[in-house]
Amino acid sequence: MRESALIHCLKPLLPPMSAQIIDGKAVAETLRESVKNAVDERISNGLRRPGLAVILVGENPASQVYVRNKKLACEKAGITSFEHTPPTDISEADLLSLITELNNDDRIDGILVQLPLPDHINAEGVIETISPEKDVDGFHPYNIGRLMIGKPTFRPCTPQGVTRLLESTGIDITGMDAVIVGRSNIVGRPMAFELLAKDCTPRICHSRSKDLPAQVKQADILVAAIGKPGFIQADWIKPGAIVIDVGINRLDSGKLAGDVEFEGAKEVAGYITPVPGGVGPMTIACLLENTLQSARKRDK
């Protein structure tokens, strides 16, 4: 029997191939170590230590976890963390006044306001009050605009982290069709510009997109950022696709789950990120990198 025929006969008996897992923790650790080395070099050269101010309004449990993780990451990277925890009923005027003080504080290189904010505070106004030179989250309209025209300054941390994860696969993604499920200003929209910069052909899909499964099926690269656990089904995914799951959803059981049905998807995709341990660590690592970048710019 010819070899090709033998393989064809045995194929139904072979187990399905699983996707390679993209280890966000490992990639993020490498980036954090790079930031730490650069900070240590700054200190040895007599330059000041970078500073990141984090504002957490109220006592949202999920936000408290994120802020705690960011503080720990700052400590490991040698970046000074300044925490501000005003009460939930702080007035918008007082919050904007705090941000203005931080804008003028020479110890601070980056300002991050943890979202979501209480309903009585206009989040857009808060973001626009942060100095673009200290907007290490990359959400200010000035920085989004620079990303859009291909001349980025501070890039939004999650899309930036996704790009780093794609690079970690070693695959040339030039010309690939990319589908982003979700159109938020934090992930979906800036992610499209990140992929354009990598010479991909991105498409943003959302809750009103027609025949979403068919559109996802065309993606060489799928970025899921819709905020619904297990929303993307395995049979939607193109065999061999790179799947980046941005979703972090807490189930009733207390476990975290992504937007992609992971167990089924990993049998179809070529590469896939887990939740947790995928995009999340990269978001924080890119925040540290942006803070270092800000300190370097302000040195000049």
Positions marked catalytic:
70, 114, 137
Closest listed residue to residue 98, CA positions, set 70, 65, 75, 121: 121
**Is residue 206 within 8 Å of residue 181, measured between CB atoms?**
yes
Tokens 């705090």 appear where?
Answer: 98
Cα 224 to Cα 150: distance, rounded to the nearest angstrom:
23
Q: What is the dihedral of CA 79, 190, 174, 237, to 10 degrees?
A: 110
Report DSSP state, residue 241. Answer: -
Structure tokens belonging to residue 137: 């989250």
Per DSSP, 224 falls in state: E
Distance CA 248, CA 232 (A): 13
* Number of Cβ within a 10 Å radius of residue 208: 7
Amino acid identity of residue 117, one-letter, is L
**d(C-alpha 45, C-alpha 2), whole Å:** 68
How far is residue 195's CA from residue 199's CA, in Å, rounded to a whole number? 7
Give dist(CA 41, CA 34) in Å, integer: 11
CA-angle at 71, arms to 142 and 167, nearest 5°: 60
